[in-house]
Amino acid sequence: MKKTDSPDELRSLARQCRIDIIEMLSRAGSGHPGGSLSAIDIITTLFFSKMNWDPKNPAWDDRDRFILSKGHGVPALYAVLAEAGAIAKEELNTLRRINSRIQGHPDRAALPVVEASTGSLGQGLSIAQGIALGLKLKKSPARVYCMMGDGEIQEGQVWETIMSGPKFKLGNLVAIVDCNNGQIDGHVTEVMDLAPLADKWRAFRWHVQEVNGHSIEEILIALDKTATPTDQPHAIIARTVKGKGVSFMENNIGWHGMAPNPEETARALEELRQR
C-alpha cells in the first residue's frame, strides 16, 4: 500500500471508495449509504496517510487501531481496506451474503483486519479506551482512533468514557465524531440536540478540534495535531453531509439505511465518475 499526504491523491481514493460503496450496496440490496458516504473522506485519509498499519500484517502489535463505533457505516471501511489491499476487491461483491466475511456490521471473528465487532451503538469509544489504556501500559507507540456518529453520542455509555479518558491520561486516544446530523429517526438536532458539542467535550478536558469532514486539508492538519505527545485525549468534531457525493442522497434522512435500486445506482455512479 502506498501512503500519501497529497490531498488530490486522497480525494481520488475517496471518490473511488464512494463508487465501491454504491456498487456493493446496490448488489447487496440493503445497507447504509448515508453514513458511509459522510465518513469516507476521514477514513480514507486516516488509512492512506496517517495511520501506522500494515494491510498484510493485521496482527502487528504496534499497529495503530481504528474502531468503527458506528458499525452500520462499515461499507466505507470495507472499501478502504479493499483499496489498500487488506482484502480482495472481489470480496466486496459478497457484502451481507450468508457466510461472507464482510457483513452489514464489522465482525472481527470473521475478518480479523477489523479491530472490533461493533454495531450496538455507544460501545465503540469504551472499546477504544480499553485498547488505548492497554497500549499505554505496554508503552507501545500505537494510537487508537475511534469514529462515532453524532446520533450515537446520545448514548450514556459514551459520556462515561468521555469522563474517564482524561483521568487515565490517554493521549494516544483520538475520538472522531462524524457529525452528519442524521440518524434513523430523523435529524439529530430534532431527535436529541447535542449542541454545543465541542464545548461539552472540552468541559470533560479533551483536546478538541472542529473541522470540515470533507476537506482533506483540514482533516490532515487535525490528525497531525493529535500526534503531538500529550496526556490529553483528542476529539475531532467533523462536520459532514449525510450521503456526500451523491446529489439525491445528500442530507436526505431516507438514505440512512436504504440501498439504491438499479436506476438510482446508475445515476449515483454517473455523478461520482464525472467528479
CATH number at residue 50: 3.40.50.970
- Taking the model in full, what pTM does it have? 0.97
Strands 144-149 and 173-179: parallel
Provide the number of structural domains found in the chain. 1
Report how far residue 275's alpha carbon sits from residue 17's, in angstroms, rounded to the nearest whole number. Answer: 13
pLDDT at 106: 97
pLDDT at 21: 98
Please name which of 140, 169, 139, 176 lies closest in space to residue 233, comparing C-alpha atoms.
169
Residue 231 — φ and ψ, nearest 5°? -95, 0
- Residue 215 pLDDT class (50, 70, 90 cuts): very high
Report how far residue 145's alpha carbon sits from residue 128's, in angstroms, rounded to the nearest whole number. Answer: 7
Report yes or no on 23 lying in a domain.
yes
253-264 confidence digits (pLDDT tens) = 999 999 999 999
List the grid coordinates of 87: 482484502
17-76 confidence digits (pLDDT tens) = 999 999 999 999 999 999 999 999 999 999 999 999 999 998 999 999 999 999 999 999
Report yes or no on 258 lying in a domain.
yes
pLDDT at 1: 77
Query: Is residue 275 scored above 80 in pLDDT?
Result: no
Report yes or no on 2 lying in a domain.
no
Helix (H, G, I), strand (E, B) or coil at 102: coil
Query: Is residue 122 scored above 80 in pLDDT?
Result: yes
Query: Is residue 14 scored above 80 in pLDDT?
Result: yes
Percent of the residues in the chain that have a pLDDT greater than 90, as a whole number: 97
37-48 confidence digits (pLDDT tens) = 999 999 999 999
219-274 confidence digits (pLDDT tens) = 999 999 999 889 999 999 999 999 999 999 999 999 999 999 999 999 999 999 99
pLDDT at 2: 86
Give the rounded distance of the alpha carbon of 102 from its chain centre. Answer: 16
Crossing angle between the packed helical segments 7-28 and 216-226, to the nearest 10 degrees: 100
Query: Is residue 140 scored above 80 in pLDDT?
Result: yes
Report how far residue 192's alpha carbon sits from residue 179's, in angstroms, rounded to the nearest whole number. Answer: 13
pLDDT at 73: 98
Name residue 173's beta-bridge partners.
144
Please name which of 23, 90, 91, 80 lies closest in space to residue 55, comparing C-alpha atoms.
80
pLDDT at 142: 97
Name residue 68's beta-bridge partners.
147
Query: Domain residues for 168?
Result: 7-274
List the grid coordinates of 195: 449542541
pLDDT at 84: 97
